[in-house]
Structures are given as structure tokens and as C-alpha cells.
Amino acid sequence: MKQKQTSPVLQRLAESYARLVLAVGQHDADYVDAFYGPPEWKQEAEKEKLPLDAIKRRASAILAELRTVSPARMDEMSGRRHQYLTKQLQALVTRVNMLQGTTYTFDEESRSLYDAVAPTYTEEHFQETLRELDKLLPGSGPVSDRYSAYKDRHTIQTTQLDRVFQAALAESRKRTAAWIDLPAEEKLTVEYVRGKSWSGYNWYKGAFTSLIQVNTDLPIAIDRAVDLASHEGYPGHHVYNVLLEKHLVRERHWLEFSVYPLFSPQSLIAEGTANYGIEMAFPAAERVEFERKVLFPLAGLDPSGAEKYYQVHTIFQKLAYAGNEAARKYCDGLIGRDEAIRWLTEYALMAPARAEQRTRFFDELRSYVINYNLGEDLVRRFVESQGGTPEDPVKRWGEFTKLLKSPRVPSGLVRQTASANQRPAF
Ligand SMILES: [Zn+2]
């Protein structure tokens, strides 16, 4: 059988793409989320300060050349790389258009930047979930008030925050390392910060190290400990970046993976795998047990309430798309800040201060919000369509790990999911 070859052209185009990402970073401080590649690339981008129009011309030239090389003649990984570069470059052009003043609707923007469009839900859809919570939550009055009061009673005492968070991180790491081969030198540090629009952030520094920042502006409820530890750390962002560095940057010398443009399809994969990673590391029953035995006592909470708390939490998660609806209406100018805050308090059950913080996230990152919940759903459907169901953890972690360490784009995941589901069952 004739061996399929990796294209040397692709290697050159990939480097041009990576340099172009750094060039956009000269105009947009949020664009380059991580870079640990050759320092001279960055120095050149700073020196050259390529104007936006010139960036677009170069992007078009790379895209045109990409079209001349056929992924069908490449091995599977190179084919994926070709698709990845194409989608990332198309998103780069969209971002440059936005920097030049082009406005897109929320859905147009998410399709162009993140290669996906979130489904639309009406208020009735969320009301059904609110009725379920109404039955479960103690007290009387509006569900949003009772939910806020219930969450307030499950806040981690400030003095215990670091101990709780470190315990959640250690457990997430242990559970992930049981399935994924992590380099011995991987390392993660935690910092507590204030005055941000997000609640947690992973800054990947290269050399298998991450800095996680946790925002302490608002009280932190107990569920955030495991959520943040798994999402930002293990097997979420930190592990994703570690595997890309290990398998693509170091082993294959695919240096374009040493730069991560925030407003790109890669973000949907990153946020989707990070969110799905929470239930990978902590299947529901195991999570309740760990919370009851370890985290609730550490946080100064009554462990007997852990089971009920996660019953409420599971139902609450069905409201995740309410945040997208608020963002879509707000970004499309159909509602103002006050109405967005009302939507978020009523349907996403956020306390008013949290909802206000979220609208500032909408201002900064707009359609980025879809990457979390739609990303999680796309990743879950994909992993399960490949046989990685919760009943088969070996296959599940295997598929998840393969996804983390190869170039992927959201529309490609959707296509593969659909074709796997059409295969006849034996
Ligand atoms: Zn994230």
C-alpha cells in the first residue's frame, strides 16, 4: 500500500498562519491567549506591525494555497491539520473585519469565529426546568430568590478557599492521571485575583505549565471548586494544552499549536472539552461522595446536604442555554443591559451581581459564550458516538484523549458524530 505523505507545503503554510496570529495580536490585546513558540516570531510581529489590510491579504493568500493541496492525499493527522488551518484562518479574517468595524449578528459571528451556531430556545423551554427546581428548593417565593438563598448557604468560607480548591485540584489530577499519561514535569499554580469579568482563567505558559487565576470578587459556591479544578486544570485546559505541546508541538514540530488565538474555532474545542472534562473526572455518584466526604467538611458546610445540592445543581445545568439567549439578544441590540440582567436572573438564576458581571463578559467576548455549553454538548455527543459512553470508561477516556491531542474543528466533530450515528448497530 502506498504511504500517504505529510505535505511540506502544509508545514510552511502552518508557520505563516502562526505568524499571522501574532500579527493580529499587535492590534487586539485579547487575541493571543497563549504563545510559547520561537521568541523571534513575536519580536518580528512587534517590529513589523503589519496593518490589518495586509494581514487579510496574507490570510487570503495562505487560504488560496491551502486550497491547492488536497487533504485526501494526506495521512489522517495532516488532513485534520489542513482543515484546522483553513477554519482558523477564516476566523482570523472575521476577527480582523471586526477590528476594522464590521458588525455581525451573534449567530453570524459565532459561525465565523467558532465554526458553530447555538440552538435557539424560547422562555417556555426554561420555564419547565424552573418548575422542577420550584419543587426541589426550600421556602416559598420566586425560584430565582430561593435558588440564590440556597446557593448562599453553600458558599465556601473565604479562609478555606485555597484549601478547598487545592483538594479539588489534587483529586482532579489523580483521577485524570489514572487515564491520561501526563509528562512528569507538568505543573500548575493558582493565584487569587479580583476585578475580572470571568470567574476562573487558565494561562498556559508552555513547558507543560499553567497559571490558574480564580476571581474572588463574588462569593464562590461549593460546586465551583470541582468545576474550576477540572475545567481549568485536569482534564480541562491545562491537560489540553499539555497534550498539544507534547504530541503536536514537540513530537511533530507543528509549531502553530504553540500559539492559541482566543477568537477561533479552537476555543470551542478548548471550552467544550474543559466543561465535558468535569463529568469525565467526576461521574455524578462519585462526585457526590467526594464532596460529602472531603470538600463539604473542608469548606465548613454540612456534608449531609451534599446529595440534595447536586440534585439541584444537575437540574440547574439544564438552564445553561439561557445565558446564550441573553447574550444573543443583548449582542444583537434587541435588549439592553437591564433586560439582559433580568433574563439572567430569571432564567439562568444568577444573583443580580453575578448577572451584571456576566453582561460585562458579553461586552468583552460576545458570542464566545456558546463555546462552553454548546462546546460541551458537541464534545459529549462526539465522544459517545465513537462508543465512549459513561458505561465504558476505557473507551470514553481513550476517545476524549484522542480528541485532546489532535487538530480538531467543531464542524468536523459534528460531521463525524452524524456519520458514526448513521452506522448500523450490530
Ligand atoms: Zn475555560
pLDDT at 1: 40
Q: Which three cell numbers stand for residue 152?
A: 448562599
372 alpha carbon – ligand 1 mean position (Å): 7
215 alpha carbon – ligand 1 mean position (Å): 13
425 alpha carbon – ligand 1 mean position (Å): 35
**49 Cβ contact partners less than 8 Å away, ≥ 6 residues apart:** 26
pLDDT at 218: 85
CB contact at 8 A, 260 and 34: yes
Cβ count near 258 (within 10 Å): 21
200 alpha carbon – ligand 1 mean position (Å): 8
Q: Mark out the alpha helices in 69-160 (DSSP H runs).
A: 76-99, 106-114, 123-136, 143-152
DSSP state of 156: P
Q: Mark out the alpha helices in 284-406 (DSSP H runs).
A: 284-290, 296-299, 306-316, 320-331, 337-347, 352-365, 370-385, 393-404
422 alpha carbon – ligand 1 mean position (Å): 32
pLDDT at 72: 83
∠ CA 293-217-377, rounded to 5°: 65
231 alpha carbon – ligand 1 mean position (Å): 6
Q: What is the pTM of this model?
A: 0.95
pLDDT at 424: 59
pLDDT at 3: 44
12 alpha carbon – ligand 1 mean position (Å): 30
Cβ count near 363 (within 10 Å): 12
Q: Which three cell numbers stand for residue 8?
A: 511540506
pLDDT at 6: 57
97 alpha carbon – ligand 1 mean position (Å): 25
Please count the CA atoms within 13 angstroms of the CA of 137 that sit on its side-chain side: 26
The burial of 7, by beta-carbon neighbours within 10 Å (0-12 exposed, 13-18 middle, 19 or more buried), is given as: buried
Q: Which three cell numbers stand for residue 376?
A: 460541551
241 alpha carbon – ligand 1 mean position (Å): 12
Smallest CA-to-CA distance from 220 within 163, 152, 147, 316 is with 152
* 426 residues of the chain, pLDDT tens digit each: 444 445 789 999 999 999 999 999 999 999 999 999 999 999 999 999 999 999 999 999 999 999 999 888 889 999 999 999 999 999 999 999 999 999 999 999 999 999 999 999 988 999 999 999 999 999 999 999 999 999 999 999 989 999 999 999 999 999 999 999 999 999 999 999 999 888 899 999 999 999 999 999 888 999 999 999 999 999 999 999 999 999 999 999 999 999 999 999 999 999 999 999 999 999 999 999 999 999 999 999 999 999 999 999 999 999 999 999 999 999 999 999 999 999 999 999 998 888 999 999 999 999 999 999 999 999 999 999 999 999 999 999 999 999 999 999 999 999 999 999 887 555
119 alpha carbon – ligand 1 mean position (Å): 21
275 alpha carbon – ligand 1 mean position (Å): 8
pLDDT at 2: 42
Q: Pairing state of beta strands 200-206 and 187-193? A: unpaired
321 alpha carbon – ligand 1 mean position (Å): 16
125 alpha carbon – ligand 1 mean position (Å): 26
